[in-house]
Structure 1
Amino acid sequence: MTISIAFSFQVTLVGSLEMPKADIWVVTAIVSGLVGYCAKTYFTFQANMVTYQNLITKSMYDKQLDSGKGTLLHLCDDVIQQEVKEVIVSYYILMEQGKATIQDLDSRCEQLIKEEFGVECNFDVVDAVKKLEKLGIVSRDSIGRIICVPLKRANEIIGTTTEEMVMRAQQAPAGS
């Protein structure tokens, strides 16, 4: 559209100049119209650039705000969930398949994830077992294999642990 209007101005200007007696007022009007149209196009472009830059600036500002506490808390929550999942999968494998060495447990956990989700991973079984041992849900036999307590007992242990934490939080003096 812009090119066709500019082209028609040029055709009109050239046509006026080719006439034997070109009227200076007609040529001035055509040139003024062409200059005015070019100025309008330029200023419209500049206004669109400013609008676009403001949009980018606002978008960057919004993304920067989102990268603060919310993002950090979201990452922390994801890490905690991942560690809880590792502990649950490790306990489940021990509960279903019995005693296992660290290497056996690691490969069994990785195999379960591959079978159930079709994803290969490097399972961090050592960290999961440490957490389970700290909770008192697993232990090791005389040759180092990992053994889990029955599910009912594990629920009692975890339930007690959670209750203890809540009780400590309620008993703690305000401001400490």
Structure 2
Amino acid sequence: MDWVKFVGSAVVGLVAMMTSVEINTDPWVVIAVISTLVGYCAKTYLAFQENMASYQNLVTQSMYDKQLDSGRGTLLHLCDDVIQQEVKEVILSYFILMEQGRPITREELDRRCEELLRDDFGEDCNFEIDDAIQKLEKLGIVTRDSSGRYSGVHLERANEIIGPTTEELVMKVKHSNTQTARKA
């Protein structure tokens, strides 16, 4: 893009100069116009070179950081990504069950999850519903009726079943420590 800007500026400047300069024009005017054009071209070229150097520095720094974080760091990052993906599957499945408001089959739940991902995020995928249902059942926030249809428990009840998160427990301890410090 910078090269297009550079070449375009030079061409437009030369064309403008040629069409506006008459044969009787003062030579100092011609020199001023040409020097302005050369100065602008030099500025554009140097800005391009600076952008290129900055980009190369960014790539080099990124590669260096990734090289330092090999082995254990890479494995931990991968594990974290897998855990996040598992949690997202469970949340999406529970959301669909809550949104339906009625028991639905495993196939319908799978289809609805895939539709949501396609319609809202533009991603076509084969949603692994069995794993998500298994986790929801293990948590106790989804039930299956005698005909094999699933429904989610009410949100407040699900929150009671799951219990407080680690973050909520930490905030509770901080709050109680603050209260204790104020009383003292």
Specify if TM > 0.5: yes
Residue 88 (1) aligns with residue 74 (2): no
Give per-residue Cα distances to partners, 1:54-105, cap 9 Å, x unaligned: xxxxx98865432211111111010000000000000000000131111110
Pair 1:119-2:117 in alignment: no
Aligned match for 1:65, one of 51, 65, 68: 68
TM-score for the superposition, normalised by structure 1: 0.55
For residues 120 and 96 of structure 2, the distance between their equivalents in structure 1, rounded to whole angstroms, comes to 13
SS in 1 for 2:151: strand
Structure 2 unmatched ranges of 5 or more: 1-61, 171-184
Identify if the C-alpha distance between structure 1 residues 87 and 60 changes in structure 2 by more than 3 Å, giving closer, same or farther. closer
Q: Distance in 1 between matches of 2:63 and 2:103?
A: 53
CA 1:157 to 1:72, structure 2 compared with 1: closer, same or farther past 3 Å? same
Q: SS in structure 2 opposite 1:147?
A: strand
Equivalent residue for 1:148? 152
What's the C-alpha RMSD, in Å, of the aligned pairs?
Answer: 2.7
Give aligned pairs, total: 108
Deviation at residue 158 of structure 1 after TM alignment: 1.2
Q: Return the letter of the residue paired with 1:129.
A: I
Asked whether 1:79 is paired with 2:82, we answer yes
Instruction: Report the residue type matching 2:162 in the other structure.
Output: I
* Residue in structure 2 matching 1:157, options 156, 161, 179: 161
What letter corresponds to residue 92 of structure 1 in structure 2?
F
Q: Please list, as runs of the form range in 1=range in 2, the aligned pairs for 1:1-150 lying within 5 A after superposition.
A: 63-97=66-100, 98-150=102-154
2 CA distance for matches of 1:107 and 1:120? 11
Post-superposition shift, 1:139? Answer: 1.3
Q: Select the structure of larger CA radius of gyration.
A: 1
Q: Which residue of 1 aligns with 2:16?
A: none
CA–CA distance in 1 between the matches of 2:63 and 2:152?
Answer: 51
- Deviation, 1:111, is 0.1
